[in-house]
Amino acid sequence: MPAWIWALSWLGASLGFALVSGVLLLLITLAAAYPKLPDISAMTDYRPKQPLRIFTQDEVLIGEFGEEKRQFVPFAKIPKTMKQAVLAAEDANFYEHGGVDYRGLLRSVVTNVLTAQKAQGGSTISMQVARNIYLSAEKTYTRKIYEILLTYKLEHLLSKDQILEVYLNQIFLGNRAFGFAAASLTYFGKPLNKLTLAETAMLAGIPKAPSAYNPFRNPKRAKARQQYVIDRMLANGFITEKQAQEAKAQVLNFRSRNARNTNNVHGEYVAEMARLQVSEQFGDLTYTHGINVYTTLIAKEQEAAHRALQAGLLAYESRQPYRGPEAVIALPADKDERDQAIDEALNDAMDHSEVLAGVVVSVGKGVAKAITLDGEEVSLSAEDSPLAAQALAPRKSGQPLLKPGALVRLIPDAGNKLSLTQLPVVQGAVVGMNPRNGYVTALVGGFDYSQNKFNNATQAWRQPGSSFKPFVYSAALEKGLTPATVVNDAPISFTASQTGSDAWEPKNYDGTFDGPMTVRQAMAKSKNLVSVRVLQLAGPAFAQNWVSRFGFEPAKHPPYLTMALGAGSVTPLQMATGYAVFANGGSLIPPRFIQKISDTSGKVLYRPPVLDPDAIEQVIPYRNAFVISSLLNEVTHTGTAASAHRTLDRDDIYGKTGTTNDSVDAWFVGYHPNRVAAVWVGHSKPKNLGSRETGGGLSLPIWTQYMQTVLRDQPVLGYAVPPGLQQVNGDWVYSELGSKGSVKSLGLDSNPSR
């Protein structure tokens, strides 16, 4: 036998032996590995971790809590286009192979051998499901063997549709989003069934490398991947050439990467309130079992309250001195490094709703140019606003406050032109409530939740000032006071024993005294001296007990004459609840902010008791509430809140301004028969807001802007005259008092303290 034939025979035998040995070794490995595979029987009833979700009563998502953002969608409800896009991008032969694509796997092995790297590759959708749920992410051949075995086990247990359903709900897609339904909300702020083909293809391109193809972090690479997915969909016959071209040309509008909720409804403060309540009730299940909380908020009202408060606080800031940029960053000379430094600064700064962050890139005489996160160049002129004029005016050093690298805040005007502003250091709160059932329809606890998580609506105990006067007048009505009672607006003083503190000589806000006037006139003009005399009539102890009927804590309202000017402590939520008693005709209905709690199947886990009309507590007489409403209606027509009537142009609004001593707290609380709203503005650490800042100038515009939205579709309503009242000289008097029995005057003869 020739030597070369012998050599070939020997080589063939050796290769055969090696092949048989390799196969035997593989079989032994598989036999040893198979019993160690995890139990996957639970996959027949797939229940992924799902976060706690908080919604408005009209089912708009306002909060989500959990390690993983996930929204499980059954296979039948996942749009066909979404399924096709994923198949085109990840595994076009998914329905043909048995779980493992050997050709793709072989290509991956060859590539790994040639490159001497253990790169990921060759994985079908079934293999990805097996790996993502049951195996680690390490890149070893042993783990690959386990993955293959587990895939066969999975394919034997589940149908193809079931496997694809798990994949579409389980796969990680960046930004803590797991599954395509969650990713749709994360990146586009809308559900899967509302996505366009272009948006669907963008999402389908992410699983290959969630970091590399994240449209927030790498928009260019994400766009290129999207184009590839569209091409694959066309090649597989899922879409037409025309559809492909239209999808490639579509400009995508992404949800703000700083957004915390969908549809621009800023309900973070209520979402946190709901989270705390659910956590106390359900413990460890809160963040994994897909609990859904439906609050009493109404989406359009919540957003209106948020916008109104931000607008009011920013308007206040526009009247303050410019404090300078929030920071100054170094701007490298290299363009790419410079752009990266700007992007990092703007990402760290975050936008706050319509208040955008910007970095100044150049400063000239009276003009500066700034860049926003989306790359827009903004020109800031000293002529645009008082703040810009201050910021660009030369100082003693000869240089303005603004310089290249300055981090500034920008806000659009009515024409959408951006101008300079600054984040408020002042805070505020808005509470909207339905007085008929206690539902909190809007609640904003501060300028921006991401800036300050302290909930001023429920946690800030502040002096209510003159906004507390209606409760004192309500008490005095039961002691014979009438709207026509004449009271002397004249100086008065008290000893320390009378006030419970220091000697006191109260003043009116404007420092003047108007002499004798009716209670109706005094309420409209918010006369402090009249209010003190009204409280003297009621008696401080009686008034303290009376105000508790409205939900106020007696201990926070000591029985002294200072109560007449709102020297106690309240929260905005308490004030809304108290005014609701007047609005609904005398009943105290505790505020409620949760309608129901359910699981993912819709099963109700908790629902507050239904409000029984027969069990509602009537805490003050209807006629008392009617008379106070009559007085508060006068305030909005001719008094300190007359601008509300001019702006809203309706006769069925009622309310009272409030400004505390030294203008520390500014209030307006008012109502329509179907809605109550309380607005408070002040510093977190109490201090003067400014000598000319009042409840009428600060809080009332916020209330009015909010109510413009709330009352847009509301009919004009009035209150029916209750029994037990009669008109005397054009005003309301308790019937048993008549024209002779009413208190005719207070404080006209002498100073009661002397």
Q: Which residues are catalytic?
A: 90, 466
The Cα 358–Cα 337 span in angstroms is 17
Cα separation, 346 vs 373, in Å, equals 6
Residue 360 zone, left/alpha/beta (φ > 0; ψ -120 to 50; rest): beta
Q: Which residues contact 401 (CB under 8 A, 6 or more apart)?
A: 322, 324, 325, 390, 391, 392, 395
Tokens, residue 709: 């939205």
Question: Do 324 and 231 meet the contact criterion of CB atoms below 8 Å apart?
Answer: no
Distance between CA atoms of residues 650 and 645, nearest Å: 6
Measure the CA–CA gap between 454 and 445, rounded to whole angstroms.
7
Instruction: Give yes or no for a contact between 571 and 467, defined as CB atoms under 8 angstroms apart.
Output: no
- Closest to 681 in 3D by CA, of 668, 662, 692: 668
| Residue bearing tokens 């994240």 | 214
Radius of gyration of the chain measured on its C-alpha atoms = 35
158 and 130 Cβ atoms separated by less than 8 Å: no
Contacts of 746 (CB under 8 A, 6+ apart): 485, 486, 487, 488, 530, 533, 534, 536, 537
**Contact at 8 Å (CB) between 190 and 262?**
yes
Q: Are 590 and 690 in contact (CB under 8 A)?
A: no
- Secondary structure string (H, E, C) spanning 175-187: CCEECHHHHHHHH
- For residue 716, the 8-state DSSP code is P
Helix (H, G, I), strand (E, B) or coil at 18: helix
Query: Is 327 within 8 Å of 721 (Cβ atoms)?
Result: no
Report how far apart, in Å, the C-alpha atoms of 752 and of each of 478, 491, 527, 710 are: 21, 11, 18, 46
- Burial (CB count within 10 angstroms: exposed 0-12, middle 13-18, buried 19+), residue 190: middle
Contact residues for 22 (Cβ-Cβ < 8 A; gap 6+): none
Per DSSP, what are the bridge partners of residue 54?
A: 63, 293
Distances (CA, A) of 410 to 348, 363, 387, 446, 676: 16, 16, 11, 19, 33
**Contact indicator for 206, 173 with CB cutoff of 8 Å:** yes
Nearest CA to 290 among 160, 134, 178?
178
Which one, of 593, 447, 446, lies nearest residue 55 by Cα?
593
E strands in 276-355: 292-295, 327-328
The Cα–Cα gap between 364 and 299 comes to 44
Q: How many residues does the chain have?
A: 754
Q: Which residues of 624-652 are buried (b: 16+ CB within 10 A; e: fewer)?
A: bbbbbbbbbbbbbbebbbbebbeebebeb
